[in-house]
Structure 1
Amino acid sequence: MSEPEQTPEQPPGRPPGQGWGRAPASPALLTAAVVVGLVAGWLARPVSTAWLGSAPVVTWVQPTLLAMLALVIGVTARHTHTALQVRREPMEPHRAVNRLAFGRASAYVGALVGAGYAGYALSWLGLNAELAGQRMLWSGLAALAGVGVVACGLLLERACRVPGDDSDA
Structure 2
Amino acid sequence: MTEDPSGEEEPSGGHLRPTSAGALTAWLVVGLVGGWLLHPITERWRGSAPVIAWSQPLALFLGAAIVGAAAWSTWRSVHVHRQRLQPHQAVNRLVLARACAYVGALVAGGYAGYAVSWLGVDAELAAQRGWRSLAAAAAGVAITIAALLLERACRVRSEDDET
State the TM-score, normalizing by the size of structure 1.
0.87
Structure 1 unaligned regions, length at least 5: 11-16
Q: Deviations over 1:101-160 (max 9, x none)?
A: 101110000000111000000000000111000000100000001000000000001101
**Runs ≥4 in structure 1, deviation > 2 angstroms?**
3-8, 163-167
Secondary structure, counterpart of 1:126 in structure 2: coil
Q: Is the CA contact 1:99–1:156 (under 8 Å) kept in the aligned structure 2?
A: yes
Structure 2 CA distance, aligned partners of 1:47 and 1:166? 55
Q: Is the 8 A contact 1:85 1:163 kept in 2?
A: no
- Show the 5 A alignment for 1:25-40: 25-40=19-34
The partner residue of 2:135 within 138, 141, 160 is: 141
Identify the match of residue 95 of structure 2 among 93, 101, 112: 101
The number of residues matched between the two structures is 156
Structure 1 residue 26: Cα displacement: 1.6
Equivalence for 2:42: 48
The RMSD of aligned alpha carbons is 1.7
Using the TM superposition, give the Cα deviation of residue 35 of structure 1 relative to its aligned residue in structure 2, in angstroms.
Answer: 0.5
Assess, with a 3 A threshold, how the Cα gap between structure 1 residues 90 and 44 changes in structure 2: closer, same or farther: same
| Alignment equivalent of 1:70, drawn from 44, 64, 75 | 64
Where do residues 1-169 of structure 1 align in structure 2 (5 Å cutoff)? 4-5=2-3, 6-8=9-11, 10=12, 17-19=13-15, 22-164=16-158
Is there any run of 5+ residues in structure 2 with no aligned partner, and where? 4-8
Answer whether contact 1:66 1:146 (CA < 8 A) is retained: yes
Deviation at 1:18, TM superposition (A): 2.5
Output the TM-score relative to the length of structure 2.
0.91
How many Å apart are 1:57 and its aligned residue? 0.3
SS in 2 for 1:125: coil
- For 2:160 and 2:120, the matched residues in 1 are separated by 50
- Who is 1:14 aligned against? none
Letter in structure 2 aligned against 1:7: E
- Same amino acid, percent of matched pairs: 52
What letter is aligned with 1:107?
A: A
CA distance in 2: counterparts of 1:44 and 1:165, whole angstroms: 50
1:84 touches 1:163 (CA, 8 Å); kept in 2?
A: no
